[in-house]
Amino acid sequence: MKKGIHPEFYTDAQVICACGNTFITGATKKVIRTDVCSACHPFFTGEQRIVDTGGQVERFQKRLKKTEELARKEGE
């Protein structure tokens, strides 16, 4: 390996999740903050929860409601 071109590697980097879970891992940053982790992600918990990023869920629900209203009006 060439000297001086690689970032410093921390074997005791701390990961902090928004849910409050913390754990230690190896990384090139000393502290890593994340929104979801294996303790709160729906895939690992089996819980049905929608992780909304940037209001995408609200926009989808608004479009769905509009489509249903149009279908009802056409059916009358």
Per-residue model confidence as pLDDT tens for the chain (76 residues): 688 899 999 999 999 999 899 999 999 999 999 988 888 887 777 776 666 667 787 888 899 999 999 888 887 6
**pTM of the model as a whole:** 0.55
CA distance 49 to 42: 6
CA distance 33 to 21: 10
CA distance 35 to 30: 17
Query: Quick one: fold of 10-75?
Result: Rhinovirus 14, subunit 4 (4.10.80)
Q: Which amino acid is at 17?
A: C
CA distance 52 to 34: 15
Output phi, psi for 20, to 5 deg: 105, -10
